[in-house]
Structure 1
Amino acid sequence: MRYSYRVNNAPGAAALMTLRMIVGAFMAAPIFIAFAMFFVFITPDSTVRFGPPLLVPVVLGVVAFLLQNLAGFRAAAIPVGTPRRSYVADFQSKLFLRLALAEAVMIVCMALAFVFLDTGFGVFVLGALITEILLVVNGWPSERVIEKYRRALERDGGQSWLREDLGLSTSGLPGSF
């Protein structure tokens, strides 16, 4: 018996799987960069300190989260009776905006790590962790994220067929986060 978790064999399923692979690569980046940064900052005689600069990644994360929700899910409403067209490209462009906002937290924290040398590695690690959280919550094209964007498109009563165009059933499948 063959299982297809979350996605059926519709033509849009390939687009969704491609998006998930891209986001997976974005999610892997902070891990690999943290591994490299470990060798830059941690030496046998170094100590990791905690201090006020650790608030910077938290503030950046909150700002990025708010921007992801304000701009990353904004969509032009579809009026009732609009002919069918694919909104997958619109979803993809907003997805990449949300990814960029999440990754910006890590990139800024990486630069700040070299400014705050005594707490630098902690600043970077916290920024990378917040980036991962933002990528999971608003970046991964899960059913929740797709549904949130679909609701923004259909708020005036039009139909987007976004779920169907991405190869998802209209009822949703168990097991997606």
Structure 2
Amino acid sequence: MKRILKSGDVCMGTCGDTTGLYDSDGNSLHVGDLVAVWTQDVKNRGWNDEPAYVVKEQGGKPFIMGLKATHLVREHILNGDVSNEEHYDTVLDTYRCNTDLTCQSKDTTWSVIRIKTFDQAADEEIWGGVRPVSEDSETDLEDGITVCCGYDFGMDQFDDAIRFCPKCGRRIRKQGNAFWEK
């Protein structure tokens, strides 16, 4: 079953989609990868408190949560030395604040290291308000029939205490006068 990233009810991308981004070790990043982000400035402050997800909103460019407004700095490496786009064996990405005065420092650089791939992150593993979920983990009821499987509860047999589809186990979304909590 396909998994998506969600922030609240907003879809932040489909796990496993390619992004064209790399971490600071040269690993290719996909939507749903969990990365550690830290600054390498004069004080060398070290790791941030929370990891972040790689996301790609529909119709948008891929980015790392918390680094959307930064500038990507890409280096092509061949045999350990800086090279060009035509001859390389590794791509290393870092992120740099622009020279706008509203930024902390024009010298601030963020490094990114992948700590979990999209398929290693657990369902509902929340970081920064974003979590991977099974795309079809919830369903709706229309006239007492589940949208997912077409299970018919019958006109008078549906009870608000029922929270899951009897056929597939998907959670039935709260509707109208249903009293259960999410």
| TM-score, normalised by the number of residues in structure 2 | 0.26
More helix, by proportion: 1
More strand, by proportion: 2
Which structure would you say has the larger Rg?
Answer: 2
Relative contact order (C-alpha < 8 Å, sep 6+): which is higher? Answer: 1
| TM-score, normalised by the number of residues in structure 1 | 0.27
